Amino acid sequence: MLRVTLRGVRAHAVRFLLSVLAVALGVAFVAGTFSLRTMMSSTFDGIVEASAPADAYVQGATQVAGGEAGFSVGETRTPVPLALADELAQVDGVRYALPDVAGSIVLVGADGTAVQSTQAPSFGVAFDDRDPYLDLVAGAVPQGADEVALESATLESSGLAIGDTTRVVIDGGVREVTVVGQVDLGGPMAGATIVLLDPATAEAAYAPDGTVAQIALHAEPGYDEAALTAAVADALPTLAGGDDARVVTGTELRDALQSDIDEMLGFVTTFLLIFAVIALFVGAFIIANTFAMSVRQRVREFALLRAVGASPGQVFTVVVGQAAIVGLVGAALGVLGGLGLVSALRAVFAQMGMDLTADIPLSTSNVVGCLVLGTVVSAVASAFPARTAALVAPVEAMRGDITVHERSLRLRAVLGAAVVAAGAAAVVAAVLRPASEAADALLGTGAALVLVGVLVASPTLARASMRVLAAPFVALLRPVGRLARGNVVRNPRRTANTAGALTIGMALVGAVSVIAASAQASLASVVESSTDADLVLRSATYVIPEGAADDVADLPEVGRTAVVAFTLAGVSPSPGVTPTPQDAGGVVALGEGVLGSTLKVDVAAGDTAALADDTALLNTDFAGDDWSVGDTVTVSTAAGSRDLRVGALFSSQVVGSSVVVTPAVLDELAPGEAQQIDTVFVDAAAGVSPDALRAAVTDAVAPYVVVSVQDRDEFVDQMAAQVDQLLVILYALLGLSLVIAVLGIVNTLALSVIERTREIGLLRAVGLGRLQLAGTVTVESVLTAVFGTVVGLVVGVGLAAALPTVYAEDGLDQLVVPWGGLVTMVVLAVVVGVVAALWPATRAARMRALEAIASE
């Protein structure tokens, strides 16, 4: 049977070609995803090694486990005294004790704009010439507040050169500096902007209270990490400021950082693999359709095999074996395609300023896994056609005209309707009880059941709806329209299977379109109802320099500013409970009277005017509903802890944190760099026009480079643009499934032309022209594409319409159906149908009538 299997693949290689390509595309996505994750992990490994190269580190106690809470990589800890470094340097085994003096900074490049790449951070670091991993490549060491050195990649991306004068925004103000040196930090920095400062300047900006996040320890020769750590651990209790500190090995710190990074990369991998699975699932439709049509065309071949003694199991094995070979070849090509995809992505990331590791990983486990995946998917997809082939009776080999008898569609229609009904019931249950813990599961399960049920019942839908969809073609294109309608209606299973891949893709596209439009409308509604400020200040780095806020507040054209400063802190998970490091929450400082005027919120209990230095306001959208006015909430940061009485409960998506305190309390809990200004709302002074206000504010923030000035409409548009960015990514990923769906249409039409060779010859013989024949095939393709698109969009839009009800409490409370975009999708389906028909239609038109009639 192996020889028969291989011979069958060789004999019908053209028929299987597009199936191979479909598998290759799906597997390429899988292989590319795993390779990209490995490359990113390896790159971040290098970054961790370069950013934490010391043998040991002295740190304070953990206050907020940022990595576990999902806010950041690493942990927020109680700071340690800067002076502790000098005492640690005297401990046996310590060669250097280097305090970590670093913080945020904005560097202005040669083009006058802030130096930024992707979402990488920008930070300043003290230049400590004792650091063995800090290499001055060129120039001199920065001395004084007006000199800086730049990391090599930062120097290149900035367009600056040694000796150039530029500006930096540091410690809330703008400062003119000269670039005096180029520094290599010993590893990749993934596009981060790194500026090295004079130690005194860095300490004044980032350690004004005499404390730092940690102290790096480098060992004397003869001391390993364990010996150094043990010596320092024994000495810490005897050192001033060392009572609350702890020492960890460099390996432990690097492992912890890498664990946080791996957790985030795991999310990215899962996200991409979901689309890879969708692509493979769509590809399975093509494989199943290919082998179903192949079985129809090779009935006599299988009957002959049965006649010469092959058992049904052997015939089944032959067909599945051929599919497995198709899958194996496609998977092998997919692995190569995945490497090409990763190479292209690496080039894109390089253009964005993020250099991934030089070597593209190709592990044996990944390659074997991808090959097995492609082979198994293909074999499983061919199981039903293989069963049909196995049941062919030997007597069929002796018949002159061989046909495959199709079973009634009634069972599929009933089964599909039952599955759709069950799915719809689950969705309705989620809509009726959105607050239920099972709402998410019901909605997801219901959506999946509806889609599966539609796919099961799609042959019946195809037979019923094709007559309607074909009506314009029947009326306008005679006899082409009637012939095309007859072809697609005569075999509804084939039509439905061909359109199934497009149905899945378009269902996802329709759902994503509705979700995106609804999210944008909900966001706009929330923002418009939550603030009536004349202007809003935002930053490209998500942090507004304090000096910019002060300069705007001092303008005579400004009547009032509402500064939104925040920090990450430990927040009581319930009344009276002391927060643990895992109980991370956002804490926002707002001035007196801001809530209720500049920022409008829905007050559930209490009065927002109760905000005071001993009172906090809780945002129930983030803090939960377990609170009451008068409860005690504990807020804990690296600088200390405060017990505050709850003065009011309110609901707001714009105030994106759980606790609101006064500026004085935030200054106590998060002094200096520990707090950041996220947004500034600005109102005009009496009698000042909007244009005059905007001109004055724009001039005031211009030196800070990264601050943008927006009116309320622009602020809403910027928030909506974030949804658009996600939408572009989703559409790009879904585009892969649509490409595979187009291949499916091409594949089916090409096989259909082969199957109907004699019919085509007869049509040509009775006078049907080549152009009319090509038109018939094209109309078939268009009808199939439009059917799949319309059914998919109806399912996707219908399911997405339930989301605003289920997730209204999470801010998605508006339902918007982008009709224009959906109509565009239908028009695109017509174009797709025409493009997909080009090759099959050309092939059909070129057939010679007599040869086609004489074919077997």
Q: Given a cut of 70, is residue 852 above it in pLDDT? A: no
CA distances from 214 to 103, 106, 120, 229, 251 (A): 13, 23, 22, 14, 15
Tell me, yes or no, whether 242 and 254 share the same domain: no
As given in the structure block, the two tokens for residue 74 are 């690493």
Say which residue, 170 or 258, is predicted with more confidence: 170
Q: Which of 663, 683, 710 is the last residue of a domain?
A: 710
* Full domain range(s) for residue 295: 1-55+249-401
Find out whether 500 and 746 touch, Cβ atoms under 8 Å. Answer: no
**pLDDT value at residue 856:** 53
Tell me, yes or no, whether 96 and 224 share the same domain: yes
Report which of 724, 278, 342, 705 is spatially closest to residue 502, judged by C-alpha positions: 278
Residue/partner pairs of 261-266 with CB below 8 Å, 24 or more apart? 261/41, 261/44, 261/48, 261/73, 262/41, 263/67, 264/73, 265/37, 265/40, 265/41, 265/44
**pLDDT value at residue 570:** 84
Tell me, yes or no, whether 522 and 560 share the same domain: no
Q: What is the pLDDT of residues 132-176, one digit of tens each?
A: 888 899 999 999 999 999 988 888 888 899 999 999 988 878 899
**pLDDT value at residue 797:** 92
Q: Given a cut of 50, is residue 266 above it in pLDDT? A: yes
Listed range (4-8, 129-133, 256-260) with the worst mean pLDDT: 4-8
- Region 489-501: mean pLDDT is 81
Q: Given a cut of 90, is residue 196 above it in pLDDT? A: yes
Q: What is the pLDDT of residues 684-719, one digit of tens each?
A: 998 899 899 999 999 999 888 888 898 877 877 777
Tell me, yes or no, whether 20 and 92 share the same domain: no
**pLDDT value at residue 739:** 75
Q: pLDDT confidence of 218, banded at 50, 70, 90?
A: very high
Q: End-to-end distance of the chain based on CA atoms, in angstroms? A: 25
Q: Count of alpha carbons within 13 Å of 694, Cβ hemisphere only?
A: 13
Q: Which of 358, 377, 401 is the last residue of a domain?
A: 401
Q: What is the pLDDT of residues 366-377, one digit of tens each?
A: 788 888 888 888
Q: Given a cut of 60, is residue 425 above it in pLDDT? A: yes
Q: Count of alpha carbons within 13 Å of 396, Cβ hemisphere only?
A: 21
Tell me, yes or no, whether 855 and 769 share the same domain: yes
**pLDDT value at residue 397:** 54
Tell me, yes or no, whether 484 and 623 share the same domain: no
Tell me, yes or no, whether 428 and 394 share the same domain: no
Q: Given a cut of 50, is residue 73 above it in pLDDT? A: no
Q: Given a cut of 80, is residue 285 above it in pLDDT? A: no
Tell me, yes or no, whether 444 and 416 share the same domain: yes
Three-state secondary-structure class, residue 388: helix
Tell me, yes or no, whether 812 and 853 share the same domain: yes
Tell me, yes or no, whether 679 and 750 share the same domain: no
**pLDDT value at residue 69:** 34
Q: What is the pLDDT of residues 20-71, one digit of tens each?
A: 877 787 787 777 777 777 777 777 777 777 778 889 999 887 656 543 333 3
CA distances from 483 to 646, 773, 816 (A): 75, 9, 40
Tell me, yes or no, whether 392 and 439 share the same domain: no
Q: pLDDT confidence of 441, banded at 50, 70, 90?
A: confident
Report which of 707, 693, 718, 661 is spatially closest to residue 527, judged by C-alpha positions: 718
Q: Given a cut of 90, is residue 422 above it in pLDDT? A: yes
Torsion of CA 25, 30, 35, 36, to 10 degrees: 90
Q: Given a cut of 90, is residue 673 above it in pLDDT? A: no
- Region 231-246: mean pLDDT is 84
Tell me, yes or no, whether 152 and 286 share the same domain: no
Q: Given a cut of 60, is residue 353 above it in pLDDT? A: no
Q: Which of 370, 401, 432 is the last residue of a domain?
A: 401
Q: Given a cut of 50, is residue 848 above it in pLDDT? A: yes
The mean predicted confidence, pLDDT, of the chain is: 82
Three-state secondary-structure class, residue 711: coil
**pLDDT value at residue 10:** 66
Find out whether 427 and 447 touch, Cβ atoms under 8 Å. Answer: yes
Phi/psi for 582 (5° steps) reads -85, -10
Q: What does the DSSP 8-state code read for residue 396? A: G
The strand ranges marked E within 16-118 are 56-59, 62-64, 76-77, 80-81, 94-99, 102-104, 106-107
**Alpha-carbon gap, residue 256 to 252, rounded angstroms:** 6
- Region 189-209: mean pLDDT is 85
- Region 88-97: mean pLDDT is 90
Q: How many independent structural domains does the chain possess?
A: 4
**pLDDT value at residue 5:** 66
Q: What is the pLDDT of residues 372-410, one digit of tens each?
A: 888 888 888 888 888 887 877 776 655 545 455 556 678
